[in-house]
Amino acid sequence: MGLEQEVLDRIADDYEAAHTITTDIVRDSGRSVSEDEVRRALIKLAHQGLIQAYLYNDHAQRYQSIRPIDAEAEKQPWFKAIARDN
């Protein structure tokens, strides 16, 4: 399985960050993967419209959606699956 698919499989109905997914992949598979690799995969998936990028707004105490291009410049973007109609 490719890294992008593995990352996509770990995004569900909760907000996820690259560091969390990296830790999970290393723990569950023993595979050596960097946080930067996971972050790049997340941003690529967001550009493809498969997941949504977010920033956490401390003042408003909620996540706010951002464009994938903006997620590239952010220090700690979060990501969440996009609800799809079946």
Tens-place pLDDT, residues 49-60: 999 999 999 999
Q: Is the pLDDT of residue 67 over 90?
A: yes
| CATH number corresponding to 3-81 | 1.10.10.10
Summarize pLDDT for 22-56 with one digit per residue, the tens.
999 999 999 899 999 999 999 999 999 999 999 99
Mean pLDDT of 53-73: 96
End-to-end distance of the chain based on CA atoms, in angstroms? 24
CB-CB contact of 43 with 4 (8 Å):
no
Distances (CA, A) of 57 to 13, 51, 53, 54, 72: 19, 19, 13, 9, 17
Per-residue pLDDT band at 1 (split at 50, 70, 90)? low
| Spatial CB neighbours of 67, under 8 Å, sequence gap ≥ 6 | 53
